[in-house]
Amino acid sequence: MVGFDMYFVLNHWLDLPYEMWDLAYDDALDLPEVNWNLEGELLEHDLQRKRDQARNILRPLVYDMVGEWDLNDIFPQWRDSAGSNQFEAMHDCTDLYRPGNIAQLNMLSLFHLDIENNESSSTGLLSNGWTIYASQENLYVAQTSRWWWWGWGSFDLDTQIHKFELNPDSTPNYVASGSVDGWIYDQFAMSEFDGHLRVASTSIDWWGWSTESDSEEGNNLTVLLDNENGLLEEVGSVTGMAPGEQIFACRMLGTKGYIVTFEQTDPLFTLDLSDPQNPEVIGELHIPGFSTYLHPMGPEHLLSVGMAGLEDGTLTGMAINIFDVSDFGDPQLQEQFEIVHPEAGWSWSEALWEHHAFTFHRDVLTIPAYRYSYEEDEQGNYNYDYFSGAISFAIDAESNNGIRWLGEVDHRDLVEESECLYSLHYDYEESVCDDWGWQANVRRNVYIEDNLFSISNYGVKITDLNDPEVSIAEVIFYPEY
């Protein structure tokens, strides 16, 4: 959402008539057979030659078939419940594009809704995409190559990126596409600054699908520029950072960039992005564990959530970190708070993979938390203790005690006062909720002034922002009858 303009990115599988697919299995067409006994370049040459022969046979048949289709049955459709309430095609043919780098039998739609003027428009692209980043002027959609790999043979591990101009007064425009080597972790791997798109990517194939994966390959920072002729061109890059590792977090703020990778220890790289043609690694910090989300706290500090660990790569539980980046060439871990039982236990949070669960307001950090611990009694039996709720910390990068525990909001008691969700939806005994009470998962935390609203799948608890132990009110979603 930018001002009064909302943009929806939608993926649609085009519902093509089955008779088109039947052409590939029509023996009467005598399509060429590939010699699968060949290997290497001989097989690739035979594949290419047979594809060319098949295209010459199939193309005129497909053209004739497409000419008889009703495009309204194939294109994505929409309806306005406050208008005609009738389904209609989302796109006109003049608003459809095919990218020059990679096309698919999918429709990527960018739908624009002008709330102020009650107007809508859309643009369609014959592609796909799952990772979205937007500035106020442009929107980028990225997709890693594994999404269109057929499952055999080698493939190029890269990420295709499509750029759209956001025009508040008209239809958003598709303007360019490009690609970078490797795959991208999340939306924070992309950042636009001064007309350039910076993209952080990992070149290692962690899924084991590629036959040419090289463990010595590392991580890259690529700078792309729209050449105003439909192409996002590479103008600069840094390659091979942390060979054998993958990116777990990144953040780019103006001319500065931060990348976290991990295999056994966590290198935090600082990058100078002031020259788009010559991005440069400036500093590097190694600590056990890793960060999964980096949050800026002024120009000299980063606040992060991640996992603490040992030097051998063993992860010990969740941690909150403050990094001092005032000396950009020598970043330091200023403070770490481990959320783990002192003897035995584990901790986890949705904030580790979903930044919307990371809520920082008035110097208070609140995140969902799931924690368990155990201890052995004299008879050798283990007694377990679970916690599921939200935890809060006071954050002050200028203090010697920069991460201070404020308290926690426990949602397990809501389970005891509620209908058992698992019995409502599944064939479970009611008693299952007595055992699974710790699964009253808090999903989000919201602040209104000095009130903290922790929202779980069982209800909402309202507590004092600076003292979460002080209860103000609660709402149960499924009260017990």
Sheet holding 5-13, edge to edge: 5-13, 106-114, 119-125, 96-97
CA torsion sign for 165, 1, 103, 70 is negative
Question: Tens digits of per-residue pLDDT, 325-380?
Answer: 999 999 999 999 998 654 557 788 999 999 999 999 999 999 999 888 777 778 87
159 neighbors 126 (Cβ within 8 angstroms): no
* 211 confidence band (pLDDT: 50, 70, 90): very low
Which residues are CB-contacts of 72 (< 8 A; sequence separation ≥ 6)? 88, 89
How crowded is the C-beta side of 226, counted as CA atoms within 13 Å? 20
Place of tokens 């690609």: 179
Distance of CA 430 to the CA centre of its chain: 36
Question: Tens digits of per-residue pLDDT, 155-208?
Answer: 678 899 999 999 888 889 999 999 999 999 999 999 999 999 999 999 887 555
* 266 confidence band (pLDDT: 50, 70, 90): confident
Mean pLDDT on 453-471: 95
- Reported pTM: 0.87
pLDDT of residue 213: 45
CA distances from 424 to 414, 432, 434, 478 (A): 16, 11, 14, 10
The residues spanned by each domain of the chain are 1-12+96-244, 18-68, 251-340, 352-367+380-481
Residue 334 tokens, joined:
């200023």
At CB < 8 A and 24+ separation, what contacts does 277-282 make?
Answer: 277/223, 277/235, 277/236, 278/236, 279/198, 279/221, 279/223, 279/236, 279/237, 279/238, 280/238, 281/238, 281/241, 282/328, 282/329
